[in-house]
Chains A and B, each alone.
Chain A
Amino acid sequence: MKGGKTRSGKAVSLDAVTVAFNVADRRVYTAVERADLNVADGEFVAIVGPTGCGKSTLLNVAAGLLRPAAGAVRIFDQPLTRLNHQAGYLFQADALFPWKTALENVAIGLETAGVDSVEARASAKTWLRRVGLENFANRYPHMLSGGQRKRVGLAQVLIRDPKILLMDEPFGPLDAQTRQIMGNQLLELWTADRKAVMFVTHDLEEAIALADRVVIMSAGPNSKIIGDWRVPLGRPRDISEVRLEKEFHQLHREIWNVLKSEVLKGYEQSTKVGAAS
């Protein structure tokens, strides 16, 4: 572990954060309203909510890519004014550089930090091995499968050793089996060096299986955080086996009771004209 972490234990702290966008006809669309969320150092928090509830918006705020209209964002007790350089962001959409090979894609994260390219490449090789892709180092992104691309993305982010990991439905486009494998791989990498994680997903099972805490957001617009559960499952976990445990089912039922009505509301919202996603 690095020594730089502040001891207060709050990696991310969102205090009454409101995010609004200007939309057509001079109207304002409030995506997120007065959200309070604390993520402790080393804690894995999953954020679950219906489609279009502003989960990604919250991540972008924590990343510093989006400025909230109101409220405070603190990263390790420092107000966030620019990009959050302590965070690594794994995007939902393909974000690899298509003109770089897998190896170059992973190495670039270090090269931007001024590490010389020989060293960066050596380190990138190690990371590719960790995500099981050492034989694909010279492939370009389009030659890799969706799951392989996600793993390159994970290595690209982790090689910088960020203290906070932001993940936006990273396994969304993958098939169920690949998702489980990726989930286990993520947990394995995370256990080695516990970072604070904000993991956005619409899949409640995935959220419970992976996280220490599950946070539920209401349907948008004006979505709020409406629930916060601690996951009473031990670690290390195997995410395919943990789904069979009694506590898992109990928690799932409990959270689903809250989430269900929001999912329906979210669906209704999405059928209306002019709904933002």
Chain B
Amino acid sequence: MNRVTLLALQLLVGVVLIGTWQVLTTVPIGGVKLLPPFFFSTPYDVGARIVKWLVEGTIWKHLYITLLESVLAFVIGSVAGVMIGFWFARQQLVAAVFDPYIKMMNALPRVVLAPIFMLWLGLGIWSKVALGFTLVFFVVFFNVYQGVKEVSPTILANARMLGMSERQLLRHVYWPSALSWMFSSLHTSVGFAVVGAVVGEYLGSAAGLGYLIQQAEGVFDVAGVFAGMFVLAVFVILIDLLVSAVEKRLLVWRPEPGDARG
């Protein structure tokens, strides 16, 4: 299937869904509107709300805050995950000692940490960054740990025979291997950074997309809730595209899936 057909079909799905929504919320069928606009709003109202936000410029501040929180959570979480993952993988004793605690913390649903972070760090961005951090950290940590542990023994033996010192092994073998695992989880960890930020905002804040949605919900402004969701979806897709571009550049040496050369 060529790109144009694919794009046309993808658009068609969107148009049909939104069209159905519009019809069911505005056109009475048998005397009743199947989806009451009070609960479901209408695509027109949602669109109008987004346009209004864009024209008035209020949305930019919220987007900026959410973006800032996500980026901070991602960067801090990744750096910590890489360093600690590396350390654990190279120091078996440390890994063994901390193993039950790491598992315990990872198993904990992060939402329950939000109130604690709010108490410790206030309603500003840092409590959201902390929540995102706890999500990003573990994804990166486990991947880096795995990446260091799973370096092929043949490649390691080869590196040693080529005369690599312990430091050179870190730089030329362990590090690239760990990073490649980390990058392969980039989509997940970036997604988690956004989740952490938005959930944190939703639970208590004064700005951000999560705040916007929570405020609209508080006054039964369904159009506002949907508009906030829509803006968030576009935001996440844009970030994901950016991540794909970065990934493509950084992992040039990786075979495409299914490309097995003999």
Contacts and interface: CB of A to CB of B under 8 A. Distances in A.
Given A95-B157, A98-B253, A142-B254, A112 B162 contact: yes
A173 B262 CA distance: 9
Contacts of A160: 162-163
A264 interface: no
A155 to B, nearest CB: 12
Nearest to A162: B161
Nearest to A175: B262
Interface in B14-73: none
Interface stretch (B118-126, B131-139, B164-172, B228-236): B164-172
Interface in B144-172: 152, 154-155, 157-165, 168, 172
A83 interface: yes
Contacts, number: 69
A111 to B, nearest CB: 8
A93 B154 CA distance: 7
Interface in A117-137: none
Interface residues of B, number: 25
A148 B162 CA distance: 19
Given A93-B154, A143-B261, A112 B161 contact: no
Contacts of A83: 160-161
Contact of B173 (A65, A97, A157): A97
Interface in A43-90: 63, 65, 83, 85, 87-89
A142 B255 contact: yes
Contacts of B254: 98, 142
A65 B156 CA distance: 11
A146 B262 contact: yes
Given A91-B154, A97-B155, A142-B259, A63 B253 contact: no
B158 A140 contact: no
B56 to A, nearest CB: 49
A63 B156 CA distance: 14
A255 B262 CA distance: 33
Interface residues of A, number: 32
Given A83-B161, A98-B253, A108 B155 contact: no
A113 B163 contact: yes
A95 B173 CA distance: 11
B252 to A, nearest CB: 7
A36 B76 CA distance: 58
A177 interface: no
A8 B225 CA distance: 86
Contacts of B261: 142-146
B168 A112 contact: yes
A25 B135 CA distance: 42
B155 A95 contact: yes
Nearest to B253: A140
Contact of B253 (A100, A109, A146): A100
A267 B164 CA distance: 38
B161 A87 contact: yes
Interface of A: 63, 65, 83, 85, 87-89, 91, 93-101, 108-109, 112-113, 140-146, 156-157, 160, 173
Given A85-B163, A99-B253, A100-B172, 11 more contacts: A63-B161, A65-B161, A89-B161, A93-B154, A95-B154, A95-B158, A96-B158, A97-B176, A98-B254, A99-B177, A140-B252
In the A-B complex, the 9 residue pairs with the smallest Cβ-Cβ separation, listed nearest first, are A95-B158, A142-B255, A140-B253, A99-B176, A89-B161, A93-B154, A112-B163, A95-B154, A99-B253
Interface of B: 152, 154-155, 157-165, 168, 172-173, 176-177, 180, 252-255, 259, 261-262
